[in-house]
Each structure stands twice: as structure tokens, then as C-alpha cells.
């Protein structure tokens, strides 16, 4: 009995050992394979890089197609000015300059006699008061001097010629510029006859001036030099420290008060400058 029991126990232990050695090997191999497949699925098809950084990344949707630059800074970056179309027709015999607002305002256009031009003008945004256009007439006074003085132009305004109306958006207007009835001239002129045997030039504290009509610097003997005086105040201006200079001599021009619309004449004889009169610019 004891021998038979021992044999049964040994056989039972061998069966248990055989089963224990076979099952772990099979189970381990199956888990490794499943683990390998899981790694492939996460690192490849469904990884965060492909889905988030690629197809649906913030850069494509926010910084590209729908960014603020495309919608706001691009298409709606600025508001276009509202304008109407105005045709100015110059019916006068003068060349004219059309100013926006006052006579000293910005220049919109220039027209020769009988010419017309159309341009876009900003709408009147002053609560129905309207827009103002001031007309400057360019008056030739060349016939007052000798033939070599060149073409001389005086700027004149007719205080009664200002065009005022309301400009509405996308509407068209035609405005006539009439012949002036009177002109107030905005400059004065200095006229110097050189009777000396040498040419001379006009200077002011060392500054040398060009003649207005022909842009020459020296006044040749026996010729007349003409200079336009700009920026004259309405009350007039005292002219001092002007002189005529030749090769060997210089002579001071006597002080004088200049007013708009006048021509002031002097004669230079080589040693002195003598005033010879003044005249108004004649409106014809």
C-alpha cells in the first residue's frame, strides 16, 4: 500500500508540472503580439500628431483661411471716401486755378480759357452748408515791360466768384466759371531799368534774385528787369536792404512800402538807384 501511494503521488506531481510549464508559454506569446499591434495603432494611424498637428491644426483654420488679416485688415482695411463728380467749365478768357475751400486752399485743377475737366470731389459733410470752390484768375501783364522781360503773370481774384453748392454721393454736376467783373491782384512787381554801361543784379542781404519773366539773373545794359513780390500782406510791407550790384559798384534801393496790385519802378545809373513811379496793375 505504501509503495502504491507513493507512485500515485509522483504521477500527480508530474502532471501538475507538465501543465504549469505549457500554459504560461502560450499566454505570454499571445499578449506580446497584441501589445505589438496596439503600439502600431497608437503610433501610426491614430497618433496625436496626424490628427491634431496635421488635418485640424490651429495654424490652418485660424492663422490661414480665417485669420483677421484676410477678413479685417485686408478687405475692410480702410473706408473709401464718398465722392460726387463735378465738371468745371471755364467760360472766361483767362487761365484759371480752382481751389478747394478758400482762395488759399489746396489746388484741385487748372483750366485754360474755354477748357472743361471732370473730377471726383468729396461729398459735402458739413450738414448741408455745402462745398466752396474759389477761382484764381491768371492775368498776363507782359505788355507793361520790354520784349525781353518774358511772360509775367499776376494772380487775381474776383471776390464775387466763389462756387458754393452741396456735393452728394454719386451725383454729377456741371459748374461754369464766369468772366470776372473785377480782379484784386495778390502780388506786386518791382521793375528796374538799367541805364548803366554794365549789367547789374538784384540782391537782398547777399541773396541774389532771378527775374520773374525770363529767369535771368543779370539785367543787361539798357534792359528792364522785373521781379514778382509774393506774400504781400493786405496792409502792405516795408521793403528794406535791397541793392543793385554790378562788377565794380553797388547801390542801395531806397526803402519803399509795397502793396498788392502795384508795379514799383526804379532806374539804376551805375552809381545810384532812383524811384521813377508806381502804377496799378490794369484789369482789362
270: alpha, beta or left? (left if phi > 0; alpha if psi -120 to 50)? left
pLDDT recorded at residue 14: 59
The set of cell numbers assigned to 60 is 490652418
Q: How many helices (H) and strands (E) does the chain have?
A: 4, 18
Q: How far apart are CA 260 and CA 281, in angstroms?
A: 9
| Whether 161 contacts 97, CB under 8 Å | no
486755378: which residue's cell? Answer: 97
Sign of dihedral through CA atoms 241, 246, 247, 249? Answer: negative
pLDDT recorded at residue 125: 79
pLDDT recorded at residue 3: 56
pLDDT recorded at residue 11: 62
Neighbours of 256 (CB within 10 A): 16
Q: How far apart are CA 65 and CA 252, in angstroms?
A: 76
Rounded average pLDDT over 246-258: 93
| Whether 257 contacts 246, CB under 8 Å | no
Sign of dihedral through CA atoms 109, 115, 117, 122? Answer: positive
Q: How far apart are CA 194 and CA 270, in angstroms?
A: 8
Neighbours of 177 (CB within 10 A): 22
538807384: which residue's cell? Answer: 273
Highest mean pLDDT among 49-63, 77-91, 125-139, 265-279: 265-279
Rounded average pLDDT over 53-57: 40
Whether 83-185 shares its CATH topology with 188-280 is answered yes
Q: Considering the entire predicted model, what is its pTM?
A: 0.66
pLDDT recorded at residue 190: 95
**What band does 271 get if pLDDT is binned at 50, 70 and 90?**
very high
Sign of dihedral through CA atoms 97, 99, 104, 105? Answer: negative
Written out in words, the top-level CATH class of the domain with range 83-185 is mainly beta
Rounded average pLDDT over 268-277: 95
Question: For the chain, which residues make up each domain, given as ranges?
Answer: 83-185, 188-280
**What band does 19 get if pLDDT is binned at 50, 70 and 90?**
low
**What band does 148 get if pLDDT is binned at 50, 70 and 90?**
confident
Rounded average pLDDT over 257-274: 95
pLDDT in tens, 179-224: 999 999 999 999 999 999 999 999 999 899 999 988 999 999 999 9
Q: Chain-centre distance of CA 70, in angstroms?
A: 26
Residues in the chain: 284
Q: Is the predicted pLDDT of residue 62 greater than 70, yes or no?
A: no
Written out in words, the top-level CATH class of the domain with range 188-280 is mainly beta
State the chain's mean pLDDT as an integer.
79
pLDDT in tens, 134-146: 999 999 886 656 6
Question: Is residue 99 exposed (0-12), middle (13-18) or buried (19+ Cβ within 10 Å)?
Answer: buried
497584441: which residue's cell? Answer: 34
In the chain, the N- to C-terminal Cα span, in Å, equals 160
pLDDT recorded at residue 12: 62
Amino acid at each position: 500500500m505504501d509503495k502504491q501511494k507513493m507512485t500515485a503521488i509522483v504521477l500527480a506531481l508530474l502532471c501538475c508540472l507538465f501543465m504549469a510549464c505549457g500554459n504560461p508559454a502560450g499566454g505570454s506569446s499571445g499578449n506580446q503580439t497584441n501589445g505589438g499591434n496596439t503600439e502600431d495603432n497608437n503610433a501610426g494611424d491614430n497618433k496625436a500628431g496626424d490628427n491634431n498637428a496635421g488635418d485640424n491644426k490651429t495654424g490652418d483654420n485660424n492663422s490661414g483661411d480665417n485669420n483677421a488679416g484676410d477678413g479685417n485688415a485686408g478687405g475692410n482695411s480702410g473706408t473709401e471716401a464718398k465722392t460726387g463728380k463735378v465738371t468745371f467749365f471755364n467760360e472766361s478768357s483767362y487761365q484759371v486755378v480752382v481751389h478747394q475751400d478758400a482762395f488759399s486752399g489746396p489746388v484741385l485743377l487748372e483750366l485754360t480759357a474755354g477748357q472743361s475737366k471732370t473730377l471726383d470731389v468729396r461729398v459735402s459733410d458739413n450738414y448741408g452748408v455745402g462745398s466752396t470752390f474759389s477761382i484764381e484768375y491768371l492775368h498776363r501783364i507782359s505788355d507793361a515791360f520790354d520784349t525781353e522781360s518774358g511772360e509775367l503773370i499776376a494772380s487775381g481774384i474776383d471776390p464775387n466768384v466763389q462756387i458754393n453748392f452741396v456735393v452728394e454721393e454719386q451725383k454729377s454736376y456741371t459748374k461754369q466759371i464766369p468772366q470776372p467783373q473785377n480782379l484784386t491782384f495778390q502780388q506786386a512787381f518791382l521793375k528796374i531799368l538799367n541805364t548803366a554801361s554794365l549789367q547789374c543784379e538784384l540782391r537782398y542781404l547777399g541773396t541774389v534774385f532771378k527775374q520773374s519773366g525770363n529767369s535771368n539773373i543779370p539785367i543787361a545794359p539798357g534792359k528792364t528787369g522785373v521781379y514778382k513780390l509774393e506774400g504781400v500782406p493786405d496792409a502792405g510791407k516795408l521793403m528794406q536792404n535791397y541793392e543793385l550790384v554790378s562788377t565794380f559798384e553797388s547801390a542801395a534801393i531806397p526803402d519803399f512800402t509795397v502793396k498788392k496790385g502795384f508795379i514799383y519802378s526804379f532806374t539804376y545809373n551805375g552809381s545810384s538807384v532812383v524811384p521813377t513811379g508806381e502804377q496799378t496793375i490794369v484789369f482789362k
